[in-house]
């Protein structure tokens, strides 16, 4: 059961990574990247690294996504 959870998360991780690379819209790519970070955060948590998971959620999904969105808003739209 635990292994299955890992496999599902890793599959979703790879799928979101591919989706980020293939997205045509920059804002969509930034949001998909946040989803990737959340998936990775769950994976860290499940692997027994809650400190790293918290950092991933706060920095990877939070601050980085916001900075990407700010840059996109300032440049292209």
Contacts with another protein by CB under 8 A lie at: 47-48, 50-51, 53-55, 58-59, 62-63, 66-67, 69-71, 73-74
CB 50 within 8 A of CB 31: no
CB of residue 75 vs another protein: minimum separation in angstroms?
11
* Residues 35, 68 contacting (CB under 8 angstroms): no
Q: How many Cα atoms are found within 13 Å in the side-chain-facing hemisphere of 44?
A: 16
Among residues 24 and 75, whose Cβ is nearest to another protein?
A: 75
Beta carbon of residue 63, minimum distance to another protein (angstroms, whole number): 5
Smaller CB distance to another protein: residue 18 or 58? Answer: 58
**Hey, how many other C-beta atoms are within 10 angstroms of the C-beta on 46?**
13
């Amino acid at each position: 059961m635990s292994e299955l959870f890992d496999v599902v998360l890793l599959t979703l991780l790879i799928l979101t990574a591919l989706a980020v690379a293939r997205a045509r819209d920059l804002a969509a790519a930034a949001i998909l990247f946040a989803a990737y970070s959340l998936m990775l955060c769950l994976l860290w948590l499940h692997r027994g690294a809650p400190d790293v998971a918290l950092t991933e959620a706060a920095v990877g999904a939070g601050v980085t996504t916001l900075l990407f969105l700010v840059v996109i808003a300032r440049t292209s739209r």
